[in-house]
Structure formats: structure tokens, C-alpha cells
Amino acid sequence: MDLLNLFIYVVLISSSGALSPGPLTIATIRYSLDYGKKAGFLISFGHMVFELPLVLAISVGVISFINDPLVKFSIGLAGSTALIFFGLMEVHSFIKYRRNVNSSINPITEDVGDRRFSLVGRRGVFQAILVGFLFTSLNPYFIIWWMSIGLTLIVNFLAYASLIGILIMYIFHIWIDYAWLGVISYVTYSGKRFLKTFHIKVISVVLSIIIILLGVYLLTSVASEFLAPRSL
């Protein structure tokens, strides 16, 4: 195949993972409310910081280690626990906010404004990148995708041009993540002008509850898979 056909091939396969709703997509919506319209690109960068070394590691034969049941269970346990923890933190923040509003003589009704939605200084940039890294590295189904569907890309491009082929494949793949999360972040940020503080808090806590449910689902899934009897 020529490069154009290879590009189309990678895009079609990558879309099954990149465009499917998951923890990273939900986290991008949630944290774009804090970090602004650039958050999607920074979260994508954090995602890439973990993903590219993983792809290279699988390419050189680390897949047997990653495929070990105990390793998969450990990754799943850490990931599901982290999702639940992040979600509970936001729920706690919402409860604290409601208590402050109820105890106030003049409830908060002002528009949120741009002060919450811009990536100011290194701290905001680092936090957005960290969100992308953590929600990628702690998602067991992301790793499973690269060990199954994504593995076909790795095998084909290794045969095409060895490790150079892997880098070509990854370039064809990663732009989808940047485009997808960038659009999500921009749309989320653009809608904030119609929202007040309370609306933002409600949206945040709903998304956080979804993240908690995803964490619980991942936890039960990896636990049942690890505890399932295996044939000798």
C-alpha cells in the first residue's frame, strides 16, 4: 500500500478507539470547564506522553509482560481507584460549595467569567497535561485496545518499515486525538458564556459521577477477569 492508503487504514482503525466515549473524553469535558479551550490539546499531549512509549514498548516485545494477568489486574485496580477518587473529590467540592451558598446571605449568582477558564501560568498547563497522562495510563481498556485492535497497526507497520514505520503509523494516529479532544474542549469552553457558577458546578458533579461509575465498572470488570478460573 502507498502512504495515502496506509493513512486511511490507520484513521479507520484508530477511530474505533479515539472517537469512542471513555474516561479521557469525559475528563476533557470536565477539565475544560477549569482550564479553557486549550485544555483539549494539552490533555492530548499528556495522553501522547504515555501512549507513544507504550506503542514503542509493544513494538520491541514488551507485550508479553503487559499481558500478564497480574500486571493487567494491577493496572486496572490502580486505574479504577483513581477514577473513583477523582470523581469523589469533585462531588465533595460540590457539597462544600452548596453548603457555602446555603449559609450565605447573598447566594452566588454571578457569571463565572474568564478567570476560571484560562490556562494561566505553568500550574494550569501542568495540571491539564497531568490529566491527560493519568486518565490514559490508568485506563486498562486503553492498553487492551493497543494489545488487540492497535496491535494490527503495529504489526503491519513494523513489516512496512520497522521502527520508522511505527513512527509513521503513530503520526497518522495521534492527530485524531488532538482533533477530537481539541473540538470537545473548544465546544465546552464556548458554552460557558451561557452558564453561571451553579450551572458549572452541576455539570462538573454530573460528569464526576459518570467518572465514578466508570471507575466502579472498570473495578468490577478487572476483578472478575482476574478471579475467573483459567484453564491449565
Q: What is the pLDDT of residue 50?
A: 93
**pTM recorded for the entire structure:** 0.70
| 143 CB burial (10 A radius; 0-12, 13-18, 19+) | buried
For residues 63-89, give the mean pLDDT: 70
The full set of domain ranges for the chain reads: 3-13+24-60+68-77+106-198
Determine the Cα–Cα distance for residues 15 and 26; give it in Å rounded to an integer: 17
pLDDT more than 90, % of the chain: 13
pLDDT more than 70, % of the chain: 73
With beta carbons less than 8 A apart as the criterion, state whether 85 and 77 touch. Answer: no
Kindly provide the b/e burial profile for residues 58-90, where b requires at least 16 CB atoms within 10 angstroms of the residue's own CB. bbeeeeeebeeeeebbebbbebbebbbebbeeb
